[in-house]
Amino acid sequence: MAEGLRDCATVVPPDAPELPGHRHVYSGKVRDLYVPGGRDDALLVVASDRISAYDHVLPTLIPDKGRVLTQLSLWWFQRLADLVPHHVLSTDVPAAVSGRAVLCERLMMYPVECVARGYLAGSGLVEYRAGQAVCGVPLPPGLVEGSRLPEPVFTPATKGAVGDHDENVTYGQVVAVVGEDVAAALRRLTLAVYGWAEALARDRGIVVADTKLEFGARADGTVVLADEVLTPDSSRFWPLDRWVPGRSQPSYDKQFVRDWLTSPASGWDRTSGEPPPPLPPDVVERTRARYLEAYERLTGDPLP
């Protein structure tokens, strides 16, 4: 993570821990960043139990979510190291955030959400229905919700601030922001990471429908994989044995929360401008169970 921090919150979230010897510098929808005392080359990245949906940070925490995000990212970073360097320096962190924090390099972050899609869902499905293309990439006719694409596609987005919506953009728009060489590297690395991870996850019974990656640069220009990687927050995970194109797919990610919020049970009108209501205990527990199951199915181990 990052110099030129984006997504900055103006108020420190009430659940952000106080860490002696560390200066809080940033809070996003899920993560809190701190500068360790005496260091200007590193950031402590703490994954909270907060959950966001529809551009709102919900008032209810999901127990163990921060640990799942951190431990699963570490698992993937280790396995992807031959494809792309990552930003993790150490997991030796203060005891108060043990298991859900990592010490990372400070990087110049690229202002692009690097999205790879292998299946049609979410905003990609909306764009396809409107014009048979996603982010300017044409797709064949006859695809339906949940269809596997002929090959994965790079569909970047801008990074929205807290409370703002990420906006899909074309590859040409990415070139205009970061230049041709960097844009080509981001596209190549995004598709390489997705292709490798999708095959591994499929062998373990999980469809990675799409994923969002973030990259930064070292002082020498090296492109580095940062933030989180291939977690239920940044990816759509579907159970392979229940994948049926043509309908909404059951998932291991926060789609369950989205579905509850837009159901009559929540009583929330998404267009009202009002914040979402608290999640009921059964939704919290079932969401927590999905995050834990995704971790265990992918890694083969219980959450440490």
List pLDDT tens digits, range 77-115.
Answer: 999 999 999 999 999 999 999 999 999 999 999 999 999
Are 2-108 and 109-272 equal in CATH topology? no
Per-residue pLDDT tens over the stretch 178-225 = 999 999 999 999 999 999 999 999 999 999 999 999 999 999 999 999
CATH topology for the 2-108 domain: Phosphorylase Kinase; domain 1 (3.30.200)
Can you tell me the mean pLDDT for 19-44?
A: 93
| Contact present, 69 and 228 (Cβ < 8 Å) | yes
Which candidate, 153, 157, 146, 101, places its Cα nearest to that of 236?
Answer: 146
CA distance to 39, 74, 285, per residue, from 105 (Å): 11, 14, 34
pLDDT range class, residue 1, cuts 50, 70, 90: low
User: Which tokens sit at 261?
Assistant: 């919020």
The domain segmentation of the chain, as residue ranges, is: 2-108, 109-272
255: part of which helix (H) or strand (E)? helix 255-261
Gap between the terminal Cα atoms of the chain? 24
In 71-205, at which residue ranges do the beta strands (DSSP E only) sit?
88-90, 101-105, 107-109, 114-119, 133-134, 137-138, 148-154
Which candidate, 222, 224, 202, places its Cα nearest to that of 213?
Answer: 224
User: Which tokens sit at 247?
Assistant: 């309908």
Q: Does domain 109-272 have CATH number 3.30.470.20?
A: yes
CA distance to 191, 193, 271, per residue, from 171 (Å): 13, 18, 30
The pTM of the whole model exceeds 0.85? yes
In angstroms, the CA 24 to CA 232 distance is 26
User: Which tokens sit at 105?
Assistant: 């390099």
